[in-house]
Structure 1
Amino acid sequence: MFTHVVLMKFADFADAAKAKSLLEGLANTIDEIATLTVALDRLRTPVSYDLCMISTHADVEALRAYQSHPAHLEVAGWLKPRLAARVVVDY
């Protein structure tokens, strides 16, 4: 099992809720996603990121297939101009 963790900080926090909805929709579209959890930060402290996404995949090839899937690329195209910062951990 391969886990993909992404933290996102939005230029406008109001975009985080729509991002959550768009990301959750990928679970029904992309077979290479084994599990998907998307959560919004509740405390909004100075060091908090706005959204955390954790997905699992059978292996690194499945993660790469997810990342190059047209539905993922469409969501990423919406996200990128709205992000102030993003960090990723894959293990």
Structure 2
Amino acid sequence: MTRPVERTGTFQLAGEAKGQALVFSQPLSFWGGIDAETGHIIDHSHPGLGQNVAGKILVMPSGRGSSSSSSVLAEAIRRGTAPAGILLERPDPI
């Protein structure tokens, strides 16, 4: 069952995205946390392990970890396995 949820915030990058939300209470790192080839969460310590982020809207408190996450995200975008959007409570520099 889905239910509408409204969030407010500041856009860091303008655009539009549609997709099912994946809501996590814990941050997720793209570096070591996402398989860019498949879009699956591979971080064994994350509660979303095994879920696929491709075409979804990630909603979480913040990003986590390495500045190398941007290279994993870029590769996922190139392969078509990236999330459609990312909503963070606290902005992340990547």
On whether the aligned pair clears a TM of 0.5, the verdict is no
Q: Provide the TM-score with structure 2 as the length reference.
A: 0.31
Task: With a CA cutoff of 8 Å and minimum separation of 6, indicate the structure with the bigger relative contact order.
Answer: 1
Higher helix content, 1 or 2: 1
